[in-house]
Structure 1
Amino acid sequence: MRRQYWVLRGREAIRRHQHNCRECQQWRAKPNVPKMADLPLSKLRIYKPPFYSTGVDCFGPFIVKIGRRTEKRWGIVYKCLTTRCVHLDLLESLDTDAFLLSLRRFIGRRGTPFELLCDNGTNFVGGERELREAFEAMVPELQDQLAKQKISFQFNPPSAPHFGGAWEREVRSVKTALRVILREQSVPEPVLQTVLIEVEGILNAKPLGYVSADAADPDPITPHVLLMGRRDSSLPQALYDSSGVLGTRRWKHSQVLADNFWSTFIRRYLPSLQGRSKWQTDGQQLAVDQVVLIVDPQLPRALWPVGKVVETYPGADGRIRTATVKIKDRTYVRPVARLIQLPKISDTEDSTN
């Protein structure tokens, strides 16, 4: 065509066509991710005990040797979203009973958390349902006494692992350490449990924030300061005297360590969380009746389902990050990062399809 005619603003016409063409967007468009939100309250629980706000996730499986046979085991990680403390445990299966038993062991060692953040795994959903039904079956007088001990479950939207990036990144660290130690070999179950606890100690000794190379700078804070009263479990106990007249009582010593942790946490580590590493600009927000293409990494792009947004869920800052999409007669809750906006389908085209 260009050999016979001089096309005016041809590139603009093609881009305009690709922007409005539904088939072109189905093959070329990407999701419009909103700007990264402010820090959630779970990361700002200052002066609260460790694991007050906890994220939980499962990982695995691992092959263990029991006699002459081999079985599968799974790991579960509990991550304090404020102090970055880590608690690891071993699961025999991924059912509800195994999760509830692990939760009881976690509460017995670390205390009852105020809230648990997790994905929509069947073991987590079933555990929350059983705990809720057991609480509702109690008499009103007992409910009033145990109301403060209730654990608030907060579930992430389906297919949204970036909603739990804090503990998903910790799963990667655990897998990296296990890959170095075990080297893809199957070991007895007590050995695997011991290795998990050792990996837990390594992760809790990880410094929070940047570690300076200057010897005059103070030592970086670690989760071990709150959990064990020292910066590393492999090092001997050290006495941090802030006033010079501590005395001999250990509770004063532990209080000085906790105060030192929180003061350093607020001054050095918390400001580093304010920066937005990605998602720094806002895209076009979803609206009701918007036609969207649902991203499914397990299917080819040509087979991704197309649906219509029936409800949106704005966050605390007013930005929409989750929506309910209707596909035929079923509805699905999906994050905006998994939805590609398409041009609206006219009534005639819809009836033809």
Structure 2
Amino acid sequence: MSGELQEKLAERQVKFNFNPPSAPHFGGTWEREVKSIKNALKCCLKERVVPEAVLQTVLVEVEGLINSKPLGYASSDIADTDPITPNMLLMGRRDPMSPPVVINPKEEIRSRKQWKHCQVIVDIFWRKFVTEYLPSLQVRSKWVTDTPNLERQNKVLVIDNQVPRGEWLIGEVVEVYPSQDGKVRVADVSVNNKIYKRPVAKLIKLQKFVD
């Protein structure tokens, strides 16, 4: 750590609390995400050996997907449903990807084949990650703690395995349907000016960040 950084951290009284060695369970949410990423990559690659260029490209694509995952939202404007993502915090924009460029024309055909290979792997990763990781967020809330019911105007992330790669459905709850026990298990969600009725198990409430 540079002296300048140490000085800045000291000025702001920033303290680091490190997890003990061999204790990944201390990580909680982020360790669950790391595990899901590892499992998805294992499912994609299995025992296959891929060229280094392909693996590097896949990892960069995966990084972009993970860093586009919504963390929460800050705007109270109904029309503004853009969530805050790691990409926005790190790079100031939602999409960090640059268009592919072939540097050596002689390798163009090979690059196209490798590019298609990369896209197939990343597509498999996306399906596996969405299927495994997103529902785990609901399981944690549902069974470990008694969370409050969803309410109107809550911003939510809609779990949908059919959405294209890299897209996250963000919507707003417009109506809720309490059961006889008072628990809300079904809600209407407005996504892109369309109303969808979804079970609460498919909706992840987004945290609102306050300035």
Give me the TM-score of the superposition, normalised by structure 2. Answer: 0.36
Which structure carries more helix by proportion? 2
Max Rg structure: 1
Which structure carries more strand by proportion? 1
